[in-house]
Amino acid sequence: MAASLDIAAKDLRQRVRDRSAILLAIVVPLALAAIFSLLFGPASTPRPFEYAVVDQDGGPIVAAFEDEVLDYLESEEIVSVEAMGEEEARQAVSDGDLDAAFVFPAGFSEAVQSERPVEVEVVGSADSPTGTDVARSIARSFVADLDAARVAVAAVAHQQAGTSEDELSAIAEQVATAPPPVALRDVSASAKVLDTKTYFAAGMAVFFLLFTVQFGVSSLLEERSDGTLARLLAAPVRRTSILVGKLLTSIVLGVVSLTVLVVGTTLLLGATWGDPLGVALLILAGVLAGTGITSLVASFARTPEQAGSWQAVVAVTLGLLGGAFFPIQQSGSFMATASLVTPHAWFLRGLGSLVGEGGVVDVLPAVAALLCFAVVTGAVAMTRIGRVVAL
């Protein structure tokens, strides 16, 4: 054990002295997380849709639309509304400065009350399909009530000829004031999705983790090509101790770099990683999985250069599939399921389950999955790596 610790301590000293290791393990992921969250953060925060109302009518119905419907949506910050002239509004929508405009023609209120056909026009921007759809939906909801009264009156008048005008207006009144038989109630679900800052911090941390932990077992290959491995083997040190020492190097490097990144992104970027114990478990399990995978790759390589480049290929491919750069888990496509073959996806999913009230119990599935990666890849690596230590 003492020998393992000596070997690990020597390797760690070597790594700390080599500044490019710190660059790749801490500085680059931190800088990229900062750049990505600065750039993509604002765009991923949805804004209220910007609408204009063109009221050429000046009547009570348009006023009701503005006061009852739009004011409410504006107070909920779902939309923002401005009154405008028609030309100005159309131009603004066409230029993409507004998402949509409601154009009420002159005589709209009167036409609604006198049962003449009439239209409200929703002018939508080609660049804001959802903004246009929302505007159209708002108008349709409003118009549905106006139409309902017309339809009820017409149906009764047709079925029972000779119904008095008074009775017909009573029917219109009844339709207008009836409590809606179907209503929509908002129920909030706790989002288990990382916010932009935390997502990029976590994505970059787990992506570069596979580069950080590769130093351990790969350094066996390095020692072999430098000739120091032969000397180490000649010394009264058991082979397993050498191996344990190398694995220890990887684990310490991984845990330290991830911890620094968690603290750094929390302080510098305002990332919120969640329950510390849960995060700690994920870090440990993630580091073990990363160590297992990079050891496995190294066990197939003949030279340290070969190990390095193969590990880069594996790290980049797994990072891409695992959603370290793009939130593939949220895409809902089969790629989201496919990404679960990577430890990255499990690490990020585990962090997602910590959002809100999540605690240690919630991360256990992700931790278990990561440990599976560690055990399987680690076991295969250890059976293969014997041939490196034997030489």
Residues in 197-236 that interact with other proteins by CB under 8 A: none
Nearer to other proteins, 6 or 305 (CB): 305
Is 303 near other proteins (CB under 8 A)? no
Tell me the window of 3-11, 30-38, 221-229, 285-293 that interacts with other proteins (CB under 8 A). Answer: 30-38
Give the distance between the most distant pair of CA atoms in the chain: 114
Interface with other proteins (CB under 8 A), residue from 290, 327, 350, 378 = 327
Kindly state the smallest distance separating residue 317's Cβ from other proteins, in Å: 7
C-alpha dist (Å) from residue 321 to 143, 254, 315, 352:
47, 21, 10, 17
- Tokens in use for 288? 């073990």
Residue 243 · residue 385 · CB < 8 Å: yes
**What's the rounded Cα separation, in Å, for the pair 254 and 284?**
8
Subset of residues 152 to 171 that bind other proteins, contact rule: CB under 8 A: 152, 154-156, 158-160, 171
- Report DSSP letters for 63-100, one per residue: HHIIIIIIHHHHHTTSEEEEE--HHHHHHHHHTTSSSE
**What's the rounded Cα separation, in Å, for the pair 352 and 346?**
10
Tell me the window of 145-153, 231-239, 288-296, 370-378 that interacts with other proteins (CB under 8 A). Answer: 145-153
C-alpha dist (Å) from residue 199 to 29, 44, 195, 287:
12, 12, 6, 18
Subset of residues 65 to 124 that bind other proteins, contact rule: CB under 8 A: 73, 76-79, 90, 93-96, 111-112, 115-124
Nearer to other proteins, 114 or 234 (CB): 114
Is 6 near other proteins (CB under 8 A)? no
**What's the rounded Cα separation, in Å, for the pair 199 and 269?**
11
Nearer to other proteins, 94 or 240 (CB): 94
Kindly state the smallest distance separating residue 267's Cβ from other proteins, in Å: 20
Kindly state the smallest distance separating residue 335's Cβ from other proteins, in Å: 4
Kindly state the smallest distance separating residue 287's Cβ from other proteins, in Å: 20
- Tokens in use for 79? 């939309």
Interface with other proteins (CB under 8 A), residue from 5, 16, 151, 263 = 151
Interface with other proteins (CB under 8 A), residue from 1, 2, 17, 46 = 46
Residue 101 · residue 139 · CB < 8 Å: no
- Tokens in use for 5? 């610790």
DSSP-based three-state secondary structure for 57? coil
Nearer to other proteins, 6 or 173 (CB): 173
Name 88's Cβ contacts closer than 8 Å, sequence gap at least 6.
52
Q: Which residue has the tokens 């939906």?
A: 137
Task: Count CA within 13 A, CB hemisphere, residue 20.
Answer: 2
Nearer to other proteins, 261 or 374 (CB): 261
Is 23 near other proteins (CB under 8 A)? yes
Element containing residue 55 per DSSP (H, E): strand 49-55
Tell me the window of 6-14, 47-55, 219-227, 276-284 that interacts with other proteins (CB under 8 A). Answer: 47-55
Interface with other proteins (CB under 8 A), residue from 253, 287, 293, 328 = 328
Kindly state the smallest distance separating residue 25's Cβ from other proteins, in Å: 9
DSSP-based three-state secondary structure for 308? helix
Closest CA to 242 of 386, 378, 375: 386
Interface with other proteins (CB under 8 A), residue from 31, 277, 361, 379 = 31
Subset of residues 331 to 370 that bind other proteins, contact rule: CB under 8 A: 331-336, 352
Nearer to other proteins, 225 or 331 (CB): 331
Nearer to other proteins, 142 or 273 (CB): 142
Total residues in contact with other proteins, by rule CB under 8 A: 111
